Structures are given as structure tokens and as C-alpha cells.
Copies of this chain bind each other. A is one copy, B any other.
Amino acid sequence: MHSILDIPDDLAPVHGALADALQRVAERFDAHLASDLLPVNDLVRHIERYRGKMLRPALVLLSGMACSPSADDPEACVTDELIVLGAVCEMVHMATLVHDDVLDEAAVRRRGQTVNFLHGNETAVILGDLLIAAAYHLCSTLDDPYPSRAIGEVSMTLCAGELLQLANRENLSLDMETYREILDRKTAALIGVACRLGARQGGADEALASGMDRFGRLLGLAFQIQDDLLDLTGEEGVVGKSVGKDLEKGKLTYPIIDHLAKAEPDRRAATLRLLKRAAAGDEAAPNKLVGVLREDGAIERARLAAESLVNEARAVLAPLPDSGPKRYLGRMADAVVQRAF
């Protein structure tokens, strides 16, 4: 995420401190997963290639900096605890990616082949389990039990969100309220916890930490809606993972649910037929569907919804005293809906 920002001079110190800290997060991640067993190490090294935007660790670090009394010296804010929390959030996220790829039968992730494609579903399931175990273990090494409780709880939330999504997978009358619930649990909650744990570590009191949690959740919702848009309109080479998978798996996403809720009965019936054809493997259906969604304005409305969530998130930041890390967080929020990958 950070790497796609156009960084003005005044944010250069934050950017530098963040880049150094993310490097430490990556090293901690790798060190904690290193195994004395060769086949395990080979798999773990493959996972390192999945490392992308590092959105969650970046949010842990920036939230910690922005809530610290020494926010003006971002480098000084980077404690070892903050690095550990960043690595823990990234491990939980990476575990969900590995298991999601099994669920989605995806072959490509970050321009590389997935673990399930290369080594089979069995290995991918257990490798995901190893990542979750590593996350909890690393988290439990902290003196403070609060992060372990938060990470344990949010992981349960995340799984419940996935199960709710699976239970509604071929439900063509999935409503927006349920869908928001899915997004909130499946994606937004972990991003919220990343911000909360970072903020707390930086010195935030409970009220401020909760505010930062809300900031993260709003950002997470916007992020997921942008993902929905990219699955419909992105280009595989740019997005770096398989696109059109949601339709193939019969998953309704934000623009489609919104379109179906607002469409006249005839239009609705025609769209449902297109969805069924897409799920049945008709390769022409997805493009037709995207055409319908554009014409209806549903693509544009989803874009606006994501933007509005980002604005809401930025408003949550307002009470924080001005600082480089705070401004950087604002720019990251904007980048969530401006990204093409």
C-alpha cells in the first residue's frame, strides 16, 4: 500500500521509518516460521512470495506512531512489541489467503502460483494452519495478554464471517445487510484490530484505541468493496491474482447485490439468469454482467460507497493531534480506493 503513495517531502521521515519497520516485520515473520524440517522451510519460503502491500502491519505501525506522544519522531515509536504485532497480523492475514486460495481453487496469487496449485489442497490447508499457529505463538510471547485475546477473538470473528459467506454462496437473494455483516467479520474486523493493537501499543487509551479500531474497520470495508470491483473490472496482470472468481463460485458481491436490490423485476430476472450462466462456466456471461452493472450505475455506486467509507474513516482520525503519521494514515485511506491492485 505504502509503496504506491506519492510521498511529499514532509512525510519522508514517516515513510523511511515505516519502510525500515516493515522490513523488520518481514524478518520477524520469516524467523518465527523457520523450521528445522527441510520440506517445511521450502513451503514457508514460498509463502514469503505472497507478501504484498503489507497493509495490516503498516496500519499497526502507523497507528502506533500516530497515537504515541513522540509521533513527531516516528522512528523512536517503533518498539519491538509493535514489530511483533505487525508480524502477527500479517500471519493471520496470510493464513486466510492460503485457505482462501484452497476455497477459491485459485491458481495464481501475486503473479506466482498458489500453494494449493503447486502442492495440493492438503498441503495448503496445513500450511495455513501453521501460519495461524505461528501467529498465536508469536503473539503469546508478548508480556501483555491483551493482544492474544484480541487476536484470538478476531480470528473467531473472521471464521464466522467466512462460514456465513459459504452458507450464502449460492444464495441469489443475499441482501446487503447480510453482505455487510460478512465483510465486517471477514475483512474489516482484523484491519480494525491491527489499528487498535498498534494504537494501544503507542500509548492510546481505550477510547482512542476504539476509535482507531473503527478507522480500520471502515477502511477494511472500503478495501473489500474495492476488491469486489477489481474482481469484476480488474485486469489479471495488474491485480496479480485470478479475477472473475467470485462469479464463477456463485459469490454475490457489493455491486451485484446493490443492482439486484434496485432493479425492476424483468431486469432482475435477466441478471439472475446471467449469474447462473456465469456460475455454470459460461465464459461470455461475466463480461455481459459487467456491462449491465455499468449501465445500471451499480459499478459507480459501489465506487462511491467505498469512497464515502474512506471519508468516514478520515473523519474518525480528526481528533488525533496533527502529525506526520496521522497524515500518512489519511493518505493510505485514500489509496485504498484509488488502487488498481
Chain A interfacial positions (CB closer than 8 Å to B)? 35, 37, 39-40, 43, 95, 99, 102-103, 119-123, 125-130, 132-134, 136-141, 143, 145, 148-149, 151-153, 155-156, 158-160, 162-164, 166-167
Contact = CB atoms under 8 A, between A and B. Distances in A.
B130 A159 contact: yes
A128 to B, nearest CB: 8
A152 B140 contact: yes
Contacts of A136: 136, 148, 151-152, 155
A106 B127 CA distance: 20
16 contacts: A37-B164, A99-B125, A103-B122, A122-B166, A123-B163, A125-B128, A127-B159, A129-B132, A129-B159, A129-B162, A136-B151, A137-B149, A137-B155, A140-B149, A141-B149, A145-B148
A223 to B, nearest CB: 20
Contacts of A138: 152
A139 B145 CA distance: 10
A156 B140 contact: no
A108 to B, nearest CB: 19
Nearest to A122: B103
B133 A132 contact: yes
A126 B166 contact: yes
A137 B153 CA distance: 6
A125 B103 contact: yes
A123 B164 contact: no
Given A102-B125, A137-B155, 15 more contacts: A37-B160, A39-B163, A39-B164, A95-B129, A102-B121, A126-B159, A127-B159, A128-B129, A129-B132, A133-B156, A133-B159, A134-B152, A137-B152, A137-B153, A139-B152
A159 B98 CA distance: 14
A28 B36 CA distance: 36
A125 to B, nearest CB: 6
A263 B102 CA distance: 40
B39 A123 contact: no
A256 to B, nearest CB: 20
Contacts of A103: 122, 125-126
B129 A99 contact: yes
Contacts of A151: 136, 140
A238 to B, nearest CB: 27
Contacts of A137: 149, 152-153, 155-156
Contact of A167 (B39, B102, B132, B141): B39
A164 B35 CA distance: 11
A163 B125 contact: no
B145 A133 contact: no
Given A121-B121, A125-B99, A149-B140, A40 B133 contact: no
